[in-house]
């Protein structure tokens, strides 16, 4: 359930809610296994009274101080305390292998106890990249339509986490925001300017002979043709999955495969990116918005 106000990587956005997915901790698996392996080596029976050489102690201290942060992120506070005790022992010149054996066994026991009730989720390298860089490929669109940033990030993260219906929901929010701007540019008169009104206005322009085009339509013919093409691509991507009700886009199914979700997400990105490249900004006047 959403619960907390989120602070994004580029600064806080007041009022935005975040879920438990947003506060997931990155788990350094390789570092964790390195800790476990090192502890396993030290737990091996040997000459417990032998004092560890200074150079060897220093090398282990440097490594373990980095591993302390791994245990902290993992939330295993007991094991972290034991690890810090082991580091303190290594800093003593008379530290023996026997000291390490006892502390290593203690840390291993605490790790087993403290991780037994936890769940760990793994993403593929591609999913990790999408989750860590949710705005990748959307930069121009966000710059032109800053209000879509939250939905862009959520759509990308939901896709990376295999929450495909949620990813599509956020992609529809992105399209709706872009349609408002496109409707202003096309001077759509429909009070519920949405998908139906805007796509209908585009279709009318495409059906006209060149001699019948207005000066505005002639000047922007090439851009409108390209937008119309991306609009048709969107319609094909979400055919039988999304309905146009009262000019708005509504999900009519939750059955989205990864391939379909990706197709819709990429088609959405192509649509808003093309608008960002060719759609002039608007300014508000008393009589309404107009392109500048």
Residue 130: pLDDT over 80: yes
At 41, the pLDDT band (50, 70, 90 cuts) reads: low
Whether residues 142 and 276 fall in one domain: yes
Q: Last residue of some domain: 115, 142, 157?
A: 115
Average pLDDT over residues 88-95: 88
Tens-digit pLDDT profile for residues 169-217: 899 889 888 888 888 888 887 666 677 788 888 888 888 888 888 888 8
- What sign does the dihedral 59-65-70-76 (CA atoms) show? positive
Q: What is the mean pLDDT of the chain?
A: 77
Whether residues 135 and 106 fall in one domain: no
Return the HEC string of 100-139: HHHHHHHHHHHHHHHHCCCCCCCCCHHHHHHHHCCCCCCH
The per-residue pLDDT for 247 is 62
* pTM confidence score: 0.67
Average pLDDT over residues 93-115: 84
The per-residue pLDDT for 29 is 66
Q: How far apart are the first and last CA of the chain?
A: 42
Whether residues 198 and 65 fall in one domain: no
Residues in the chain: 292
Q: Is 219 exposed, middle or buried (0-12, 13-18, 19+ CB in 10 A)?
A: exposed
Q: Last residue of some domain: 58, 93, 115?
A: 115
Q: Is residue 24 part of a domain?
A: no
Q: Is residue 246 part of a domain?
A: yes
The per-residue pLDDT for 10 is 45
Q: Could you tell me what percent of the chain has a pLDDT over 70?
A: 76
Q: Is residue 11 part of a domain?
A: no
Residue with tokens 């001699």: 211
Q: Is residue 281 part of a domain?
A: yes
Least reliable range by pLDDT among 96-100, 140-144, 268-272: 96-100
Whether residues 152 and 230 fall in one domain: yes
At 148, the pLDDT band (50, 70, 90 cuts) reads: very high
State the total domains in the chain.
Answer: 2
Whether residues 108 and 167 fall in one domain: no
Whether residues 108 and 165 fall in one domain: no
Whether residues 109 and 184 fall in one domain: no
Residue-number span of the structural domain to which 107 is assigned: 29-115
Whether residues 266 and 208 fall in one domain: yes
More confident residue, 9 or 110: 110
Q: Is residue 271 part of a domain?
A: yes
Residue 9: pLDDT over 50: no
Q: Is residue 19 part of a domain?
A: no
Whether residues 106 and 161 fall in one domain: no
At 39, the pLDDT band (50, 70, 90 cuts) reads: low
Whether residues 78 and 50 fall in one domain: yes
Q: What's the CA angle centered on 264, arms 263 and 265, to 5 degrees?
A: 95
Cβ within 8 Å of residue 186, ≥6 positions away: 198, 201, 202, 205
Q: Is residue 3 part of a domain?
A: no
Q: Is residue 68 part of a domain?
A: yes
Report yes or no: 252 and 243 within 8 Å, Cβ to Cβ.
yes
Q: Is 134 exposed, middle or buried (0-12, 13-18, 19+ CB in 10 A)?
A: buried
Whether residues 103 and 199 fall in one domain: no
Whether residues 70 and 44 fall in one domain: yes
Average pLDDT over residues 252-259: 80
More confident residue, 157 or 18: 157
Residue 111: pLDDT over 50: yes
Q: Last residue of some domain: 82, 115, 148?
A: 115
Q: Could you tell me what percent of the chain has a pLDDT over 90?
A: 14
């Amino acid at each position: 359930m959403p619960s907390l106000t989120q602070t994004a990587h580029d600064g806080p956005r007041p009022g935005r809610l975040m879920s438990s997915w947003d506060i997931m901790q990155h788990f350094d698996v390789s570092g964790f296994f390195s800790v476990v392996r090192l502890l396993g080596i030290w737990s091996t029976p040997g000459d417990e009274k032998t004092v560890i050489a200074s150079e060897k102690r220093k090398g282990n201290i440097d490594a373990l101080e980095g591993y302390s942060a791994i245990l902290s992120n993992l939330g295993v506070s007991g094991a972290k305390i034991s690890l810090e005790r082991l580091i303190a022992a290594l800093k003593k010149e008379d530290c023996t292998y026997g000291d390490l054996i006892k502390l290593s066994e203690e840390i291993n026991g605490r790790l087993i106890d403290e991780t037994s009730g936890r769940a760990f989720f793994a993403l593929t390298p591609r999913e990790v990249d999408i989750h860590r860089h949710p705005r990748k490929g959307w930069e121009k669109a966000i710059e032109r339509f800053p209000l879509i940033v939250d939905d862009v990030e959520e759509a990308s993260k939901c896709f990376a986490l295999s929450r495909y219906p949620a990813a599509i929901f956020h992609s529809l929010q992105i399209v709706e925001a872009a349609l408002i701007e496109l409707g202003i540019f096309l001077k759509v008169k429909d009070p519920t300017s949405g998908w139906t009104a805007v796509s209908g206005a585009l279709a009318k322009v495409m059906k006209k002979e060149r001699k019948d085009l207005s000066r505005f339509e002639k000047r922007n013919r090439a851009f409108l043709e390209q937008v119309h093409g991306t609009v048709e691509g969107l319609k094909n991507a979400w055919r039988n999955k999304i309905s146009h009700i009262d000019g708005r886009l509504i999900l009519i199914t939750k059955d989205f495969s990864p391939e379909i979700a990706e197709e819709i997400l990429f088609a959405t990105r192509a649509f808003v990116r093309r608008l960002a490249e060719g759609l002039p900004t608007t300014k508000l006047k008393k009589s309404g918005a107009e392109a500048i």
